[in-house]
Structure 1
């Protein structure tokens, strides 16, 4: 269960039991009482007398008149219980809404990730095509730079979409009350440190090595 809903359920159960406790306050009560005593008397002749005593009994208490205090506390407990039920319903609705939003966001994010992955492949092909055209002289460096910028923008959007999918997945599990340490370890394993990100492959720069420089005109 959702943790907020579970907390509201416990609070409601405590309030309900408080009503019973206040109602039972007007009933007679029986208590078991007991005492233990130890005494020692010394005389001038240094002859002491020791005595031990123990008593056990029952004590009956009957509330005859309390000035309306018991009824007032019972009404207060009933009002607090009604409030706890309202808080429980509010927590349930909030949990349902949060779960629905996280689920829709997760599905939407997965679709966006798939679309951006296809766009990344397309941008990579466009960059490779422009690099090849640049090497044979049918493309200028601005064409390569534009294709490279488009590829990097797509990769940025893809990384952001993947991050949103991870967040929405964790939010959905947290709302359902099933998020645990294993889920966090799986997400942590997906995070790649900056030092381990592979460098750009050779040939993806705007000016390949060994070229004399950009041509200002297209070859006819």
Structure 2
């Protein structure tokens, strides 16, 4: 015969319901994918990166425009006059001018275009890096919310068990089967279970607030992780480390380094000559006292060559500055690469450790379930005390909670490993 407090805490419940891990898809898109997509559209940091990229593209257009001819049309009209005793004179000259200027050779102009193109490439990779950072943050918030939901469910189940145990203990006390001490112990455990339930509710409220801050909307009721969130990524650590050069933040750093090298060449171009061509075509006419004067056409064409001779050391200093900045970018790239390798290894070990803890916790739940069942039977025949049963129930609750936490820790570690290896995309994070 099953006792009234046996219901609620069974280790099979800890395998977590399919809805928790698989969820219901909407039009072929999982709730997690919807949340990740919404996070991308509402993230201020991603918007800032995209606007920065747009600004860099405009710099490229500005640099390219300087290689094209400059054409300008100008005109003027003035009125002049003079009066003197017995007479006067006046004129109203009108002039129109069409001018054209073209750079024939300019090292700085050509190199500046290449420089800004590289900066734009770096900014584009920074957008990709920002996207993956937002996705990791959103996925972490989803994991935290789902973990808090499951812990609250377990806490509620444990609270129901302790409530039923208190009712049963009070009934047995009334017929003299147990002592007042047994009732007090049951009341104490019930109070502790209520406190744990309150703590779980608060943790869920915090997780929900964090999720809404990242995603821009409350967590859906059917929010769930992929069907196999704790599965290994299928690659060895060495293979994962070989992927780090494909991370968008490293690609951005490489593009910045190339831009730094081009900036050195740009500064060195300050020593080179500049050749330009300019021409003007104009017409002017005016009306004087004697009548309208025939229009005067004018034209001019100039080929100008400028050779730098001395600039007070400014160009040399600019080159030295560019070299120092280039070397700093190279050091930054190496630092980022080392950090990326460390992140990959840490995430890989975290995932391996979480999977090992899952297996150990599953064994703990199995043992705790068997122990609880045995103590329950012995309590029914009077060879175990109420405190023994309360301890067994709490141990099972603790084991189930640790198993749930280890499962979500493994899910988070997998997301972190995908991000560290440069594959933190919506498609990879929601893959079953």
| TM-score scaled by length of structure 2 | 0.39
Instruction: Mark the CA change 1:45 to 1:116 in structure 2 (over 3 Å): closer, same or farther.
Output: farther
Mapped pair 1:108 → 2:349 = no
Q: What residue is the counterpart of 1:83 in the other structure?
A: 328
Residue 424 of structure 2 aligns to a residue in which SS?
coil
Q: Deviations over 1:83-110 (max 9, x none)?
A: 2111111111111112111111111111
Instruction: Mark the CA change 1:48 to 1:154 in structure 2 (over 3 Å): closer, same or farther.
Output: farther
Residue 256 of structure 2 aligns to a residue in which SS?
helix
Q: What residue is the counterpart of 2:253 in the other structure?
A: 8
Instruction: Mark the CA change 1:113 to 1:36 in structure 2 (over 3 Å): closer, same or farther.
Output: farther
Q: Distance in 2 between matches of 1:28 and 1:66?
A: 13
What pairs with 1:23-172 in structure 2 (closer than 5 Å)?
23-35=268-280, 37=282, 39=284, 41-42=286-287, 57-172=302-417
Q: What residue is the counterpart of 1:215 in the other structure?
A: none
Instruction: Mark the CA change 1:56 to 1:154 in structure 2 (over 3 Å): closer, same or farther.
Output: farther
Contact 1:42 / 1:49 at 8 angstroms: preserved in 2? no
- Distance apart, 1:8 and its partner CA: 2.1
Instruction: Mark the CA change 1:44 to 1:119 in structure 2 (over 3 Å): closer, same or farther.
Output: farther
Instruction: Mark the CA change 1:127 to 1:61 in structure 2 (over 3 Å): closer, same or farther.
Output: same
- Distance apart, 1:127 and its partner CA: 2.1
Q: Deviations over 1:27-55 (max 9, x none)?
A: 11112334465656356799697677665
Residue 83 of structure 1 aligns to a residue in which SS?
helix
Q: What residue is the counterpart of 2:160 in the other structure?
A: none
Instruction: Mark the CA change 1:179 to 1:49 in structure 2 (over 3 Å): closer, same or farther.
Output: farther
Q: Distance in 1 between matches of 2:375 and 2:293?
A: 115
Residue 162 of structure 1 aligns to a residue in which SS?
helix
Of 87-96 and 140-149, the range deviating more from structure 2: 140-149
Q: What residue is the counterpart of 2:266 in the other structure?
A: 21
Q: What residue is the counterpart of 2:424 in the other structure?
A: 179
Contact 1:28 / 1:61 at 8 angstroms: preserved in 2? yes
Instruction: Mark the CA change 1:42 to 1:119 in structure 2 (over 3 Å): closer, same or farther.
Output: farther
Residue 322 of structure 2 aligns to a residue in which SS?
helix
Q: What is the aligned residue count?
A: 187
Unaligned runs of 5+ in 1: 188-220
Of 175-184 and 145-154, the range deviating more from structure 2: 175-184
Unaligned runs of 5+ in 2: 1-245
Of 16-25 and 6-15, the range deviating more from structure 2: 6-15
Instruction: Mark the CA change 1:124 to 1:63 in structure 2 (over 3 Å): closer, same or farther.
Output: same
Q: Distance in 1 between matches of 2:295 and 2:393?
A: 103
Instruction: Mark the CA change 1:78 to 1:33 in structure 2 (over 3 Å): closer, same or farther.
Output: same
Q: Distance in 1 between matches of 2:327 and 2:425?
A: 33
Q: Distance in 2 between matches of 1:150 and 1:41?
A: 106
Instruction: Mark the CA change 1:70 to 1:136 in structure 2 (over 3 Å): closer, same or farther.
Output: same
